């Protein structure tokens, strides 16, 4: 097609699942059953392969979709507010849990609390985020233990956190379209201005970091279903975590359903793809390696104390010249894992290796014009797993799917999937 319509702002949507006979049987709240494949076809009209997905016509390829996401000014959009809770792991490391809270009536008081609640030695937080007071934390922990309202837990990407526009859009969408649901972003060690307090960094194998938090949620609120969402690298973590859960006796005990957005299913293929695309090679990879280098330098004192053989003055000099994600992982990340090189780390921890183990209903979204992750999607493996639904598009980029109104279609998809699942499925 020539002319303006040939730019490609009308995406084709393909849905890949096991056929009805092989698909997972889900129990409805009226005690009848429905196949997962039928649920997707009948109850998610947003996924209609017969219709085109209309995105922003000015962002007519994956590069533009991706660059818009990484450079957009969202300071006046998605104005969600967070209350931060620190979660301490057994190794004394911490993550931060950013809970969506109501918009404050008094912004001045909110900013005052931002300063008053900031722990000594911690960096100030992003706009509209503050630490919860002791009274608020007590109230949160003593919240109704019999509540059945869902919790949506969000795992961000490699250089992300609760401050990202896409995650704020998702958090805001869930909060505004549901009643009583809890929405929380799990900011990994060192991310979103969370200090590193141990010798452990987050990696693609940090599945226990997710598990420990969700187990704590279940201890607090045993009757609240948990929906889990992962974006980009966070999607890989979610997949690896769910695969491990699938090998347990009761894999449905922690997560009711999950969604992954732009997951890098094969890290080796993704690393090669990143090198081959202009956007990946000259923009994304250098930016990611710079962020990770900054994470190390900002937390050098703590890291050098706990893992001096890995993080030392030599490391600081090396990461000054690192300009690719592969090099950073080769020099730093893999040395905090059992793997000897970035290649081995990528090969062993690629989600494609274990996605057949997943036994949690999962909706995965990937675009074949993604400049950041591999686009050789493991369709046959996913169709062989009755718990999987892969949504493939030919436009959307990496964490893009930007619509004309500046909001993200992938957010609508995940939000509608969770809402409909909770409405119908027991």
Instruction: Give the N- to C-terminal CA distance of the chain in Å, as an integer.
Output: 46
Q: How far is CA 139 from CA 71, 114, 143, 145, 200, in A?
A: 38, 19, 6, 12, 31
Q: From the candidates 156, 163, 273, 398, give the one annotated as an active-site residue.
A: 398
Exposure b/e, 74-110, CB count within 10 A at least 16 = b: eeeebebbbbbbbbebeeebbbbbbbbbeeeeeeeeb
Catalytic residue status for 357: no
β-sheet bridge partners, residue 363: 259, 389
Catalytic residue status for 163: no
Sign of the C-alpha dihedral computed for residues 80, 81, 86 and 87 taken in this order: negative
Rounded Cα gap, residues 200 and 88, in angstroms: 13
If you search the block for the tokens 């307090």, which residue do you land on? 197
Catalytic residue status for 370: yes
Cβ atoms within 10 Å, residue 4: 9
Length of the chain counted residue by residue: 426
Q: From the candidates 162, 232, 350, 367, give the one annotated as an active-site residue.
A: 232
145 φ, ψ to 5°? Answer: -70, -15
Q: Which residues form the catalytic set? A: 232, 370, 398
């Amino acid at each position: 097609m020539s002319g303006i319509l040939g730019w490609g702002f009308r995406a084709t949507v393909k849905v890949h699942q096991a056929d009805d006979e092989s698909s997972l049987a889900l129990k409805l709240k009226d005690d009848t059953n429905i196949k997962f494949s039928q649920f997707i076809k009948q109850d998610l009209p947003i996924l209609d392969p017969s219709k085109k997905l209309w995105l922003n016509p000015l962002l007519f390829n994956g590069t533009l979709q991706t660059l818009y996401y990484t450079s957009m000014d969202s300071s006046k959009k998605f104005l969600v507010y967070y209350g931060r809770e620190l979660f301490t792991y057994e190794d004394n490391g911490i993550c931060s849990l950013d809970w969506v809270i109501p918009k404050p009536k008094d912004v001045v008081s909110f900013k005052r609390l931002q300063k008053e609640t900031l722990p000594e030695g911690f960096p100030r937080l992003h706009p509209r985020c503050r630490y919860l007071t002791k009274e608020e934390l007590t109230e949160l922990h003593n919240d109704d233990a019999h509540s059945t309202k869902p919790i949506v837990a969000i795992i961000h990407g490699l250089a992300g956190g609760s401050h990202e526009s896409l995650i704020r859009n998702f958090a805001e969408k869930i909060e505004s379209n549901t009643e009583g649901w809890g929405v929380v972003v799990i900011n990994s060690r060192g991310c979103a201005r969370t200090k590193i307090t141990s010798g452990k960094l987050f990696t693609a194998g940090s599945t226990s970091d997710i598990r420990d938090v969700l187990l704590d949620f279940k201890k607090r609120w045993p009757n609240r279903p948990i929906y889990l969402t992962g974006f980009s690298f966070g999607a890989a973590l979610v997949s690896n975590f769910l695969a491990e859960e699938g090998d347990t006796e009761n894999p449905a005990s922690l997560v009711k359903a999950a969604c992954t957005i732009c997951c890098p299913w094969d890290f080796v293929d993704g690393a090669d793809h990143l090198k081959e695309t202009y956007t990946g090679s000259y923009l994304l990879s250098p930016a990611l390696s710079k962020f990770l280098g900054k994470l190390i330098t900002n937390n050098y004192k703590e890291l050098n104390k706990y893992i001096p053989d890995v993080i030392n003055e030599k490391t600081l000099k090396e990461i000054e010249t690192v300009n690719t994600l592969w090099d950073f992982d080769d020099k730093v990340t893999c040395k905090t894992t059992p793997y000897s090189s970035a290649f081995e780390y990528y090969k062993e921890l690629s989600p494609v290796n274990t996605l057949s183990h997943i036994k949690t209903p999962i909706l995965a979204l990937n675009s074949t014009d993604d400049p950041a992750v591999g686009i050789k999607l493991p369709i046959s493996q996913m169709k062989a797993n009755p718990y999987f639904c892969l949504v493939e598009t030919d436009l959307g980029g990496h964490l893009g799917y930007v619509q004309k109104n500046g909001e993200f279609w992938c957010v609508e998809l995940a939000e509608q999937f969770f809402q409909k699942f909770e409405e119908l499925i027991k």
